[in-house]
Amino acid sequence: MTAPPPFSVIEHETLDSTNDEACRLASDGVAEGTVVWAHRQKAGRGRRGRRWQSPEGNLYFSAILRPAASPAVAAQLSLVAAVAMADTLAELLPEGAPVEQKWPNDVLVDGKKIAGILLESSGAVADRVDWVVVGCGLNIAVAPDETTLPATCLAEEGATSVDRKAVLMALLDSLQRRRREWDTAGIAPVRTAWLSRARGLGHEITVRLPTHEFKGQFLDMDDSGALIVRLPDGSEKSVTAGDVFL
Ligand code: BTN
């Protein structure tokens, strides 16, 4: 298998959304490894149709990948990116800083959200995606308010570097490393790394779905990225989409 090419960054002052721009470029056929970076977004998008506040000072970028994978397997790249994000934060923050993964792909520090990932992909031909856009938002200088979870940022957590470009480069390095590992070894090492930092593992959680919510014990995350929850009646439920409250 050939190694994915290194990243090449296109920098913008302002975009509506780096994901929108990256999806457009990807459909136009730009090379794998193209990264769209903006200093601010006017219409940053989060998961489940939410807004992602995008003031100047934080990091907003979207990387275009072209894995030879089905839609279900390509979706694992959101976990790959979430683990790469946590790897980088653990390097930038003081030793022992509580960097945690929150299902499905949030990264928390000290129990507060610092980063989120929004993955989008093309339709598939012969069960293979043409492209995947991995959109990453990381709070560096500003912890936005009006968020569903309490938020924090690198500056508030005592990071060694808060230079946006340096942080972007460190993140792309980690993403490249985890992507190569995923190409050669599959999802297992990423899943192991994710579980080793998972917030609330073994504890009671509330899972919110579009129509209802339920409580259970957070048992595991499987190879497909689904959350495994033990219900009060002892049965196990696999959750593929939703929000988790700890
Ligand atoms: C989440 O809801 O946690 C995911 C947030 C993803 C935000 C990033 S910022 C860069 C990229 N462009 C967007 O519009 N969204 C993603």
CB 216 near ligand 1, within 6 Å: no
Atom of ligand 1 minimally distant from the CA of 17: 14
Residue 192 shares a structural domain with residue 218: no
- Ligand 1 atom, smallest distance to 18 CA: 12
Q: 208: CA distance to ligand 1 center in Å?
A: 20
For residue 238, give the CATH number of its domain: 2.30.30.100
Specify if 3 maps to a domain.
Answer: no
Q: How many independent structural domains does the chain possess?
A: 2
Q: Tell how far the Cα of 186 is from the centroid of ligand 1, in angstroms.
A: 25
What is the domain extent for residue 56? Answer: 8-196
Q: Following CA atoms 90, 105, 155, 112 in sequence, which dihedral angle do they give, to the nearest 10 degrees? A: -100
Residue 47 Cβ contacting ligand 1 at under 6 Å:
yes
Q: If pLDDT is split at 50, 70 and 90, which confidence band does 30 have?
A: very high
Whether ligand 1 lies within 6 angstroms of the CB of 118 is answered as: yes
**Are 99 and 211 members of one domain?**
no
pLDDT tens digits for 110-167?
A: 999 999 999 999 999 999 999 999 999 999 999 998 777 899 999 999 998 789 999 9
* Predicted TM-score (pTM) of this structure: 0.95
Give the total residue count for the chain: 246
Beta bridge pairs of residue 132: 65, 121
| Order of all β-strands in the sheet with 8-15 | 8-15, 34-41, 59-65, 132-138, 112-121, 106-109, 99-102
Same domain, 151 and 58: yes
Are 147 and 81 in a shared domain?
A: yes
107 within a domain of the structure (yes/no): yes
Task: Answer yes or no: do 146 and 222 share one domain.
Answer: no
CA distances, 106 to each of 129, 136, 150 (Å): 24, 10, 12
Q: Quick: pLDDT tens for 189-204.
A: 999 999 999 999 999 9
Q: Whose CA is nearest to atom 3 of ligand 1?
A: 116
Same domain, 140 and 239: no
Residue 1 lies in a domain: no
Percent of the chain with pLDDT over 90: 92
- 177 with 212, same domain? no
Determine, yes or no, domain membership for 147. Answer: yes
Q: Is 77 among the domain residues? A: yes
**Ligand 1 close to Cβ of residue 78 (< 6 A):** no
Q: What is the CATH number of the domain that holds 35?
A: 3.30.930.10
Residues 238 and 118 in one domain: no
Q: Is 2 within a domain?
A: no
Q: Is the pLDDT of residue 1 over 70?
A: no
74 and 116 fall within a common domain: yes
Among protein residues, the one with the nearest Cα to ligand 1's atom 11 is 135
Report the distance separating Cα 133 and Cα 21, nearest Å. Answer: 10
Distance between CA atoms of residues 85 and 148, nearest Å: 20
Please state, in angstroms and rounded to a whole number, the distance separating the CA atoms of residues 91 and 161: 10
Shared domain for 74 and 153, answered yes or no, is yes
